[in-house]
Chains A and B, each alone.
Chain A
C-alpha cells in the first residue's frame, strides 16, 4: 500500500521553472556574445569571462558565508547579470574594474536586498553606472573595432553617440551590423533583436516594455528634431543631412537603447506586473533616455533612465492594477 500524497489543488504544474527562464535569457544573449567577439576580438571574451566568473563567485561567497544558505548560483541569474554587465562596458576594460563592477552588481544591488527576486534595481545596471561614475576615463575609452572576420569596413574612434553630438558623419549600415565603437553588447542591433525575438517566443518577456520604450524614444526624438531642426543636426558620410525621421531612427540604433529596451528594462524582477504598468514603465524609460541624451551631460542615458524607472516600480504596481473581472470602472 503506497502512501497517498495530500495537497491542495492544482495537482499539475506547467514545468516552467526559474532555471529554464534564466537559461532562455542566456541563450538569447548568445548572438550578442558572438557579434561582440567578432567586432572586438578576444578582448571581448576576456571581459565577459571575468565578469561572469566574478558575479558567480561573489554570489556563491555571499550565500555560503554571509547568508549561510545553500548556494543557488546554478539558477542562471548571476550568469545573466555577469553577461549583461560585460555587455555594458567597453572591451578594453582592466580586469580589476570589471571585478569591482561585479561586486557592486551582485553584492550590493542584489544580495544585500535578499537575493534573487528581491532587488529593486537591475543589478547589472547598478554595476555599470557605478563603474561609469567611478572610472569615467576607462569606461568611455572605446577601443577600435577590430573584427576577427574582416567583413565590414571598420571605423574607429568614438561611439556614434559621441559622433552625433560632435557632428561627425556616420554610416547607417555599420549601425545595423554593429561595426562601430561602443560597449560589447550594444553594437549590433540585429543580434539584440534576434535575442529579443527568442525571448518573446519563449514568453520570457512580453512586448509591452520594449515597444513602449522604443516607440517613445522614436516619437520624442522625431518631435524634437522636427520642431527645431537646426539644434540637433547630423550629416551622413555621403554629405546628406538627416531629416527628423531618420534622426529618430538613428537614435534607436545608437548606444544601448535596444539592449536596454529588450534586455535590461524587461528584467522581470525590476519591472511592473500589469500590462498598463509595463507600458507606463517603458514610456518613462524612453522619455528619460531621450531627455538625458539630448540635454544631459552624458551622451548616453539608457542606464540612468532604467534605474530611475526601477525606483518607480512599486508605485506603478500600486497605481496600475489589472482590471478585475466583474468590477465596473467608475467614470468620474
Chain B
C-alpha cells in the first residue's frame, strides 16, 4: 500500500534518532526551578504568588487572564525566592518566577497513583475548563494554549481530530517513547479530546520510521471506538499542522486560516497525554518528556522532567558535557532555537535538547545563488525561497507580501538543501517580521 503523505515539496534529513531505544527515565529534582511567564503563545500570565510564599507541587503560580494565555503551576515544592527577569530560550531577559526547592510536597488533590482511569466522566464544557485551569498547551513546540484550540468558533464544525505523532524532526524521540510507554493514557486522552470537540473520528498520524509505535497503538486502539492509526511516509515537515492535515484527510487549509476551516483540530501526542492526566488525574502540566541528544553525548536519553529544570541538569544526566560542544539547541535541528546558556529552563514547549559539536555548529561558506531550484522544489508551501530571500534583502516588502512570505512555516528545508549555503530562512524570517508589522499597522488603520 502506498503510504499517505503531503503533496508539495518535502525532504528527508538524516534521522539520527539515537535515543529511540532509551526508555523514559524520571529526572531528579532540581535545586531551583525557573518558570518564565511567557512560555506559551499569547499574553504572559500574571503571577499569583509573591516573593517568600511557600508553594506545593501543582499549585498555580501564574494565572492567564487574557483570552489567549495559559496558567502556570509550580512543578516543585519550596519557596518563591524571586520574581525577576531571566534569560529564556529566546535569548532575551523575560520575567520569570524562581522557586528554591524544599522537599517534594504535592498538592493533595492530584492523583499520583499509576492506575489507568478509563472511564471519562467529564462533559464537553467541563473538559475544556479543566484543560484551561491546568495550563495545558501544545507540547510539540509552539505551546499554543490548548483550551483555545478546542473551543470551536461559532458557525464551524469539527469533523475529525488528528493526533500529531509524526515527530518528523531529526534526533527527537520524546513522542515516540511516550507512545510506546503511555499508549493507553494517550488513547484515553484522545477519547477525552474527541468528546471536547464532539467528533466521532480521530486519526493518529505516525511516520513509518516508528513501526513499533504504529504496531503498539494499532493493537491498543482496537479497544477504543473511532480511533485510527495512520502510518505515514517519512517526509519532513510532515509534523507541520497543514501538511499533516493534507496527508491524513486530504484537505488543504487555506492561507492564513486555521485547521478548523476544513473541520479539523490537530493536537500533539504529548498534549493528549497531558490532557489525560489533567482530566482523569487532576494533574496540571508540570512535567514533560524531553529528549536529550547529540552526536557527542555519551548517553542520549529521554527524561521525564519537571518544568523549570535547568538544561545543564539534563545534559549531566545524559553523560555530561562533552569537550567539543559548540551549539545548544532547544528543540530539533530543523526548527529548534539555538540558546545562549546552559541554564535555560525546560518549559512546556521544550521537546528536546540537542547538543551539537563545534564542527557541526559551523555553516558552510555562502556562495552565489546558482538558481538550482532545489529550494523551490523542496518548499512544502509552494513558495520560492530564493526569491523571498532576495526581496527581503532588498527590503521590497510589498512584493514580498505578494509572493506569500506570510505563508512560510519556517520549516527550514530551503536553507537545509541550499548548495550555496545561503541563509535563505534567516532572510525570509527577517522579511516576514517586517511584513507582519506592516499588515498589523494596516489593520489598525
Residues of A within 8 A of B (CB): 2-14, 16-18, 20-21, 72, 75, 114-118, 206, 268-275, 278, 321-328
Judge if B66 is at the interface, Cβ distance under 8 Å. no
A interface, over-half SS: loop
B340, A6: Cβ atoms closer than 8 Å? yes
Contacts of A324 in B (CB 8 A): 255, 381-383, 404, 407
Contacts of A16 in B (CB 8 A): 374, 417, 419
Cα A326 to Cα B379 with chains together (Å):
13
A268, B340: Cβ atoms closer than 8 Å? no
Q: Enumerate B101-147 residues with CB–CB distance to A below 8 Å.
A: none
The interface stretch among B177-185, B284-292, B421-429 is: B421-429
B242, A325: Cβ atoms closer than 8 Å? yes
A116, B329: Cβ atoms closer than 8 Å? no
B interface, over-half SS: loop
Taking residues whose C-beta sits less than 8 angstroms from the other chain, chain B's interface range is: 35 or more
B407, A326: Cβ atoms closer than 8 Å? yes
Can you list, as one digit per residue, whether each of B347-368 has a CB less than 8 Å from chain A (1) or not (0)? Answer: 0000000101010111110011
Known A-B contacts A8-B423, A21-B419; the reply to A325 vs B407 at CB < 8 A is yes
Residues of B within 8 A of A (CB): 8, 11, 13-14, 91, 170, 242, 246, 252-257, 324-329, 331, 333-341, 354, 356, 358, 360-364, 367-374, 376-377, 379-384, 386, 404, 407, 410, 412-413, 415-417, 419-421, 423, 425-426, 429
26 example contacts (A-B, Cβ-Cβ < 8 A) are as follows A4-B326, A6-B327, A8-B423, A10-B335, A10-B415, A10-B425, A11-B356, A12-B170, A12-B360, A12-B416, A13-B363, A13-B364, A116-B367, A117-B367, A117-B371, A268-B371, A268-B372, A273-B384, A273-B386, A324-B255, A324-B381, A325-B255, A325-B380, A325-B382, A326-B255, A328-B254
Q: Which of B246, B377, B384, B429 contacts A8 (CB 8 A)?
A: B429
B337, A9: Cβ atoms closer than 8 Å? yes
Q: Which of B246, B410, B421 contacts A13 (CB 8 A)?
A: B421
Q: Which of A14, A72, A118 contacts B416 (CB 8 A)?
A: A14
Cα A17 to Cα B368 with chains together (Å):
11
A11, B425: Cβ atoms closer than 8 Å? no
B253, A10: Cβ atoms closer than 8 Å? no
Min Cβ gap B357→A in Å is 10
Contacts of B339 in A (CB 8 A): 4, 6
Min Cβ gap B372→A in Å is 4
Cα A243 to Cα B317 with chains together (Å):
78
Which of the listed residues B384, B423, B429 has the most CB atoms from chain A within 10 Å of its own CB? B384
Which of the listed residues A5, A17, A321 has the most CB atoms from chain B within 10 Å of its own CB? A5
Known A-B contacts A13-B363, A17-B421, A326-B257; the reply to A117 vs B370 at CB < 8 A is yes
Contacts of A206 in B (CB 8 A): 377
Q: Which of B326, B331, B369 contacts A2 (CB 8 A)?
A: B326
Min Cβ gap A110→B in Å is 11
Cα A240 to Cα B429 with chains together (Å):
66
Min Cβ gap A124→B in Å is 15
Contacts of A327 in B (CB 8 A): 254-255, 382, 404
Smallest CB-CB separation from B430: which chain A residue?
A8
Known A-B contacts A17-B364, A117-B368, A273-B386; the reply to A326 vs B425 at CB < 8 A is no
Contacts of A7 in B (CB 8 A): 327, 338, 361, 363, 426
Smallest CB-CB separation from A272: which chain B residue?
B373
Min Cβ gap B342→A in Å is 8
Min Cβ gap A313→B in Å is 9
Cα A268 to Cα B417 with chains together (Å):
15
B336, A9: Cβ atoms closer than 8 Å? yes
Min Cβ gap A230→B in Å is 44
**Which 6 pairs, one residue from A and one from B, show the smallest C-beta to C-beta distance?**
A10-B412, A117-B368, A326-B255, A324-B382, A5-B361, A268-B372
Cα A18 to Cα B333 with chains together (Å):
23
A9, B371: Cβ atoms closer than 8 Å? no
Q: Which of A3, A9, A114, A117 contacts B412 (CB 8 A)?
A: A9
Q: Which of A117, A278, A321, A322 contacts B369 (CB 8 A)?
A: A117
Known A-B contacts A7-B363, A21-B419; the reply to A326 vs B334 at CB < 8 A is no
Cα A278 to Cα B373 with chains together (Å):
10
Contacts of A321 in B (CB 8 A): 384
B382, A322: Cβ atoms closer than 8 Å? yes
Known A-B contacts A12-B334, A17-B419; the reply to A116 vs B370 at CB < 8 A is yes
Smallest CB-CB separation from A270: which chain B residue?
B371
Smallest CB-CB separation from B419: which chain A residue?
A16
B373, A268: Cβ atoms closer than 8 Å? yes
